[in-house]
Amino acid sequence: MPLDPTNDVRRVVAGRVDEIPPGTRKLIVPFRGRAGIGVFNVNGDYHALRNLCPHKLGPLCTGRVSGRPVAAAPPSAYLGLPEIERDGEIIRCPWHLWEFDIATGECLVDPQMRVKTYPVAIEEGSVVVYANIADLPPLPPNRVVAHEEVTSI
Amino acid sequence: MTATAADRLAQIVAQGVIDADLNVVVPGHATLLPYLPEYWQEQIAQTGFKGAPDTSYPAGAETTARPDATPAQGPAGSDLALLRQQALDPWNTQVGILTCAYAVESIHNPDGAAAMASAVNDWLIAEWLDREPRLRASIVVPSQQPEMAAREIDRVGGHPGFVQVYLPVRAEAPYGNRRYLPMIEAAVRHDLALGIGFGGAPPTPPTPSGWPSYYLEEWAGMASIFQSQLMNLIFEGVFDRFPALRVVLIEGGFTWLPALLWRWDKEWKGLRPQTPWVKRPPSEYVHKHVRLTTQPWDAPPTEAQFLQIIDQLGSDDLLLFSTDYPHWQYETAEEALPPSGLPEGLINKIMRENARSFYHF
């Protein structure tokens, strides 16, 4: 993906690198009333997702970041509990708990679904997202944004 | 009956059918005496124990037997000659699968339950399978004692006439519960399907909210128990543990299935972390591992509605034709046929090919 801004693509400075340390996220709402962007630091790698779940348009990026329970086999007297794999790499939409891979945007319970991802670059100590305005649709009615998690720019 | 319907029946019968549900009834404990060990013969003589006291088919209920199916001696479903004359011959049945709902689960003495189950199975071999090559049968097991059930499956599971283990849909606990693992493992070990059938006489009531007052409630309400059993098998991970396991739902209807498949697939997406061993959407397990017999079908009033429901099952592989003989579910043979609006290929699958491939005939 090209990192140069064009007419449509906006260079959005999400914040200083040290504002978003590993294991944290920052939500940005570049245009009032439009879906925002979630910027995530997963083990030192930055990823940006559209804050709009492709399932029912929930505020995906405000969901819980965790891992993914996996089990080699159903439980039995001879097998331990399920394990958590990829801790910190999975986000679950707060509305219906669907799991998404933060790095790729893939929905892990429905291969037809994927959340929009954006290129992220580190430029002079800042985390920069290159986002297309057309990719940031108006918020659906009744969508509540948690203000304490949002930085308007 | 129109000429067209009769022609259609004749055409289907000419190709032969596989009948996935023929009911066989043990006339009484005297029938089983020759198949019981000396100890249990003595117990019966001494104590008056007469084997399973319960049946899910009250003798006087209109659904229990078609009027012409009761032989001169014994209950309907206990006479091989009548079965040939009324079910196997008129349908040109290539293979017919016997299910025997003898209620061993109602016998509280574990050894008594196991002994009666063994006697029923030896009776099935000697008086039905050995006499009629078109027949296959389901193994009767003391499912309330899963390890003893496994032992019985190991004892007769190698007989080529047995193609499945019969489990009454009513049970003390749903069959996905871990207590049943030895029994299910034995079925898989012998490449036998689990045939989960209408009824049963466990100590628990036939609805989760208690005992209903009337037979109609138990009869028509049984579908909800099939639903619970199927849901439990999926989410306990039984199909993940036994990828070769095959389950047939017998006499449970099927029109209730599409809505459940939709609901399960929907909820699984959000609740998957609770049962991470369930790796695929639940409907995929049903399509791969589960089949349903056709009679009695809870069909809607119009054929157009019926075709929609069959389409909503999401797979052409699921339905297995059954007459449910000698139960009285329909007046004429034509009424037991799948709707004529289905494609011919699908009708062939329902009438024989689905059973052929699922049971490896």
**In this complex, which of B270, B271, B277 lies closest to A74 when CB atoms are compared?**
B277
In this predicted structure, what is the pLDDT of residue A11? 84
Residue in this structure with the two tokens 């994927």, named with its chain if needed? A114
In this predicted structure, what is the pLDDT of residue A153? 33
Q: What average pLDDT score do residues A20-37 get?
A: 80
Q: What's the distance, Cα to Cα, between the start and end of chain B in Å?
A: 33
Across-strand partners of A65?
A91
Query: In Å, how far is B236's CA from the nearest CA of chain A?
Result: 7
A100: which chain B residues are within 8 Å (Cβ-Cβ)?
Answer: none
**How far from the centroid of its chain's Cα atoms is residue B275's Cα?**
28
In the predicted structure, residue B67 carries a pLDDT above the cut 90:
no
Sign of CA dihedral A105, A107, A111, A112: negative
Contact B269 A98 (CB under 8 A): yes
Whether the CB of A153 is below 8 Å from some CB of chain B: the reply is: no
Please give the Cα distance from B252 to B196 (Å, whole number): 9
As to burial, measured by CB atoms within 10 angstroms (0-12 exposed, 13-18 middle, 19+ buried), residue A108 is: middle
- Judge contact between B27 and B78, C-beta under 8 A: yes
DSSP A143: P
Please give the Cα distance from B119 to B26 (Å, whole number): 10
Rg for chain B, CA atoms, rounded: 20
Long-range pairs for B75-80: beta carbons < 8 A, 24 or more residues apart: B75/B25, B75/B27, B76/B25, B76/B326, B77/B23, B77/B24, B77/B25, B77/B325, B77/B326, B78/B24, B78/B25, B78/B26, B78/B27, B80/B127, B80/B128, B80/B131, B80/B132
In this predicted structure, what is the pLDDT of residue B4? 87
Q: Tell me, yes or no, if the pTM score tops 0.95.
A: no
Q: Would you state the structure tokens that stand for residue B132, as one six-digit string?
A: 């009629």
In the predicted structure, residue B358 carries a pLDDT above the cut 50:
yes
- Judge contact between B328 and B63, C-beta under 8 A: yes
Contact A73 B269 (CB under 8 A): no
pLDDT digits (tens, 9 = 90+) for A53-97: 999 989 999 999 999 999 988 988 777 789 999 999 999 999 999
Please give the Cα distance from B150 to B145 (Å, whole number): 9
Contact B269 A110 (CB under 8 A): yes
Query: In Å, how far is B69's CA from the nearest CA of chain A?
Result: 46
Residue B165's CB: how many other CB atoms inside 10 A?
A: 26
In this predicted structure, what is the pLDDT of residue A30? 52
- Judge contact between B282 and B176, C-beta under 8 A: no
**In this complex, which of A68, A74, A96 lies closest to B236 when CB atoms are compared?**
A74
In this predicted structure, what is the pLDDT of residue B252? 96
pLDDT digits (tens, 9 = 90+) for B125-183: 999 999 999 999 999 999 999 999 999 999 999 999 999 999 999 999 999 999 999 99
- Judge contact between B259 and B224, C-beta under 8 A: no
In the predicted structure, residue A5 carries a pLDDT above the cut 80:
no
Apex A87 CA angle, A37 and A149, nearest 5:
30
Contact B269 A69 (CB under 8 A): no
Please give the Cα distance from A67 to B338 (Å, whole number): 48
Give the confidence band of B58 by pLDDT, cuts at 50, 70, 90.
confident
Across-strand partners of B167?
B196
Q: Tell me the CB-side half-sphere exposure of residue B187, using CA atoms within 13 A.
A: 31
Whether the CB of A74 is below 8 Å from some CB of chain B: the reply is: yes
Percent of chain B with pLDDT over 70: 99
Contact A77 B240 (CB under 8 A): no
Closest residue on chain A to B271 (Cα): A97
In the predicted structure, residue A9 carries a pLDDT above the cut 80:
no
In this predicted structure, what is the pLDDT of residue A76? 82
Closest residue on chain A to B238 (Cα): A74
CB burial readout B261-270, b (16+ within 10 A) else e: beebbeebbb
Contact B276 A70 (CB under 8 A): yes
In this predicted structure, what is the pLDDT of residue A148? 37
Contact A77 B236 (CB under 8 A): no
Residue in this structure with the two tokens 């040939």, named with its chain if needed? B84
Whether the CB of A76 is below 8 Å from some CB of chain B: the reply is: yes
Residue A141's CB: how many other CB atoms inside 10 A?
A: 5
Give the confidence band of A34 by pLDDT, cuts at 50, 70, 90.
low
Rg for chain A, CA atoms, rounded: 17
**How far from the centroid of its chain's Cα atoms is residue A78's Cα?**
38
Task: Indicate the helix (H) or strand (E) that contains B163.
Answer: strand B162-168
Residue B7's CB: how many other CB atoms inside 10 A?
A: 10
Give the confidence band of B353 by pLDDT, cuts at 50, 70, 90.
very high
Residue in this structure with the two tokens 């100890």, named with its chain if needed? B39
Contact A71 B276 (CB under 8 A): yes
- The closest alpha carbon to A49, from A59, A34, A38, belongs to A38
As to burial, measured by CB atoms within 10 angstroms (0-12 exposed, 13-18 middle, 19+ buried), residue B74 is: middle
Closest residue on chain B to A91 (Cα): B270
pLDDT digits (tens, 9 = 90+) for B202-241: 989 998 899 999 989 999 999 999 999 999 999 999 999 9
In this predicted structure, what is the pLDDT of residue B208? 86
DSSP A144: P
Apex B273 CA angle, B184 and A143, nearest 5:
145
In this predicted structure, what is the pLDDT of residue A12? 84
Query: What is the ipTM metric for this complex?
Result: 0.77
Residue A64's CB: how many other CB atoms inside 10 A?
A: 10
Average pLDDT taken over every residue of chain B: 95
Contact A96 B273 (CB under 8 A): no
The letter for the amino acid at B215 is Y
Query: What is the number of residues in chain B?
Result: 361
Give the confidence band of B64 by pLDDT, cuts at 50, 70, 90.
confident
Task: Indicate the helix (H) or strand (E) that contains A121.
Answer: strand A120-123
pLDDT digits (tens, 9 = 90+) for B256-303: 999 999 999 999 999 999 999 999 999 999 999 999 999 999 999 999
Sign of CA dihedral B111, B80, B352, B136: positive
Please give the Cα distance from B20 to B145 (Å, whole number): 26
